[in-house]
Amino acid sequence: MRKTVLSGIQPSGKLHLGNYFGAMRQHIEMQAEHDAFYFMANYHTLTSLQNGPELRQNTIDVVLDYLALGLDPTKCTFFAQSDVPQVTELAWILGTLCPVSLMEKGVAYKDKVANGLAANIGLFTYPILQAADILIYNSDIVPVGADQKQNIEFSRDLAQKLNFTYEKELLKIPEPHIVESVAIVPGVDGRKMSKSYGNTILIFDEGKALKEKVMKIVTDATPLEDPKNPDTCNVFALIKLFASTEKKEEIAAKYRAGGYGYGHAKKELLGMITEYFAEAREKRHQLEQNPDFVMDVLKEGGEKARKRAEEVMQPIREALGLIRTHYAG
């Protein structure tokens, strides 16, 4: 059965290989089979980025990245969160039902503050806005990385709370869909690849910038002629994402045989990244020349998303006793 799939990505910086293999690729794969809603979570990004021109540009960059990588706006609903005012309306309502103690259990908030983000209220209540994102489109499945599981559970709790309080099935209870098969993609320093660690290889890095990053990937000091273990090597962990099964086995065998250095592996990886994204890179250059197209895509997606959101919101307003004298669809 066709289900409603929903996911969001924060336009908080340029997208990297971890974002692609951990999230975007699955989103693109799911667009054909399901009724998919994908959006740029720009309200969420305000919790960590307070620079208007930068947020605007990042949002456009995320749209370009997705489109270049194969997201088809005629197959799914692709939009900016800020084009759906109903989402902040629902977030307020859910906030009135959410015990402070529930938010205090949030691990992402504590992590972000520990990593130096300012402890603003938006950051604290971030999961409530995320719950509104999920619930406002009657989503069935929410494909996310493992780090988002708690936020999906919060959205289930809050939907149940609203339905129980107003004694009506106003919101559908969504399921998470954690992509367990994707290992954490390592960054050039061997830690999890993340914008906040400055260790990323961007999807659309090319030329000298790409080469420099690949050459910087941390490896151990095993001499060139000695056998090496591919399974503990950061370069091989990235090669695995790009190579066919045969190619992977061939390179692993070279590691184990010795006489194959990390420099060789890096060169191989550089070639693979360049080739894997060649078509997308070309498409992105073309799309960059056509800013009106990007805005048209967002406009159309926004209209479709608002329509669905309004259908879910109106019965809620009625049940809650909120008088509304104008239509906001």
Catalytic residues: 112, 192, 195
Q: Please, what is the minimum distance in Å from the beta carbon of residue 327 to ligand ADP?
A: 35
Indicate which single residue of 4, 7, 58, 125 sits in contact with ligand TRP (rule: CB under 6 A).
Answer: 7
Q: What are phi and psi of 88, to 5 degrees?
A: -75, -30
Q: Among ligand ADP, ligand TRP, none, what does residue 128 contact (CB within 5–8 Å per kind)?
A: none
Polymer length of the chain? 329
Per-residue contact track with ligand TRP, 146 to 175, x per CB under 6 A? --x---------------------------
Q: Please, what is the minimum distance in Å from the beta carbon of residue 159 to ligand ADP?
A: 21
Q: How far apart are CA 171 and CA 312, in angstroms?
A: 8
Q: Which of 99, 101, 95 is nearest to 135 (CA)?
A: 95
Instruction: Classify strands 4-9 and 77-80 as parallel, antiparallel or unpaired.
Output: unpaired
Q: Please, what is the minimum distance in Å from the beta carbon of residue 253 to ligand TRP?
A: 37
Q: Among ligand TRP, ligand ADP, none, what does residue 142 contact (CB within 5–8 Å per kind)?
A: ligand TRP
Stretch that binds ligand TRP, among 30-38, 54-62, 70-78, 129-137 (CB under 6 A): 129-137
**Closest CB to ligand TRP among 132 and 238?**
132
For residue 234, how many C-alpha atoms fall within 13 Å in the half-sphere facing its CB? 22
Indicate which single residue of 15, 24, 40, 41 sits in contact with ligand TRP (rule: CB under 6 A).
Answer: 41
Indicate which single residue of 144, 217, 287, 309 sits in contact with ligand TRP (rule: CB under 6 A).
Answer: 144
Tokens at 139, concatenated: 């989503």
Indicate which single residue of 130, 199, 200, 234 sits in contact with ligand TRP (rule: CB under 6 A).
Answer: 130
Q: Among ligand TRP, ligand ADP, none, what does residue 196 contact (CB within 5–8 Å per kind)?
A: ligand ADP
- Footprint of ligand ADP (CB under 6 A): 9-10, 18-19, 22-23, 144-145, 147, 182, 184-185, 192-196
Q: Among ligand TRP, ligand ADP, none, what does residue 22 contact (CB within 5–8 Å per kind)?
A: ligand ADP
Distances (CA, A) of 271 to 11, 56, 146: 28, 32, 30
Interacting residues of 206 by C-beta distance below 8 A, sequence separation 6+: 274, 281
DSSP reduced 3-state for 121: helix
Q: Please, what is the minimum distance in Å from the beta carbon of residue 129 to ligand ADP?
A: 15
Contact status, residue 68 vs residue 113, Cβ threshold 8 Å: no
DSSP of 202-267: BTT--HHHHHHHHHH-------TTS---GGG-HHHHHHHHHS-HHHHHHHHHHHHHSS--HHHHHH
Which positions touch ligand TRP (CB under 6 A)?
Answer: 6-10, 41, 44, 130, 133-134, 142, 144, 148
